[in-house]
Amino acid sequence: MSRQFNAKILLFGEYTVIRGGKALALPYSAYSGEWTTDQVAKVDWHPLIRFLLGHPELEIDVKRLEQDLERGGGFRSSIPQGKGLGSSGALVAGLLAAYGPQKEWTLSEAHARLAGLEACYHGQSSGVDPLVSWVGKPLRIDGQQCPQIVKMPTETWTALDRWFLLDSGVARHSAPLVAVFKQKTENPDYKADLEHMEALVGDGIEAFEHLDEAMMGVTMEALSHLQLASFEEMIPRAIKAIWIHGLETRQFALKLCGAGGGGFFLGYRLKTYPSAALKF
């Protein structure tokens, strides 16, 4: 039960992936969690147990899970909740590994099962967050196909020290924000912005894959301007001021890191200066 499951960062593709667009998700090793039989802080696990009992097709050993929880065990995690870093994804990835069928899972099998498990927390889940934690490697999402494991130069990007996280200090709830987005997509005038955003997501993934700092800077700056105009409801007021400052001074560009509304936001330094690197 000692396997660690990392947090995740959706580097590109927030909201546009809902429309079947591309996305790139990375494991984030700064935060992680594990299921353990050691004593952990008390948590109300009753909603999870009820969910699992109601979904026997997910094949979780609920009896053994309950026994371990009664002894004081649980999911020990450093991943902040409600911040957009996949805390529930890591939890259910660990749940499947510790209490699910002990077998060799194909990527598509694990993806489907993890999506089903994370539905306990989100009502409906794409399964991407827990799958990133499960495989511990970058995933490329392309339309409705199963995400694919890809090689990305994450360590080199870490050394370049361009990316950073900005904590809004506000917990977020993604479901209402997704509802707002879906309502906005009903406006025909919004379609052009979304198509432009989807093209920029593709450019950003390509720039990341090929270590193209110049292209990444241009792409992130354009994406930041577009998200500021198109996703205003998803940007807290305090973050908006910092967002605008970064663009006006051309020091950095911010973007959503998941649903937005709170939690972490993702930044890219347009100018290099000493700071703490974001280690993927």
Q: What percent of the chain has pLDDT over 90?
A: 71
Strands 252-256 and 163-167, bridge-based pairing? unpaired
The model's pTM:
0.89
Q: Around 56, how many Cα atoms within 13 Å sit in the side-chain half-sphere?
A: 1
Domain ranges of the chain: 5-149, 154-269
Whole-number mean pLDDT of the chain? 91
C-alpha span between 197 and 209 (Å, rounded): 18
Span 181-200, mean pLDDT? 86
Structural tokens at position 246: 């970064």
CATH number for the region 154-269 comes to 3.30.70.890
239, 252 contact by CB (below 8 A): no
In CATH terms, 5-149 corresponds, of 3.30.230.10, 1.10.1740.10, 3.30.110.30, 1.10.3720.10, to 3.30.230.10
The 10s digit of each residue's pLDDT in 226-269 is: 999 999 889 999 999 999 999 999 999 999 998 888 999 999 99
On the question of a common fold for 5-149 and 154-269, the answer reads no
Beta-carbon contacts of 45 under 8 Å, excluding residues fewer than 6 positions away, are 69, 74
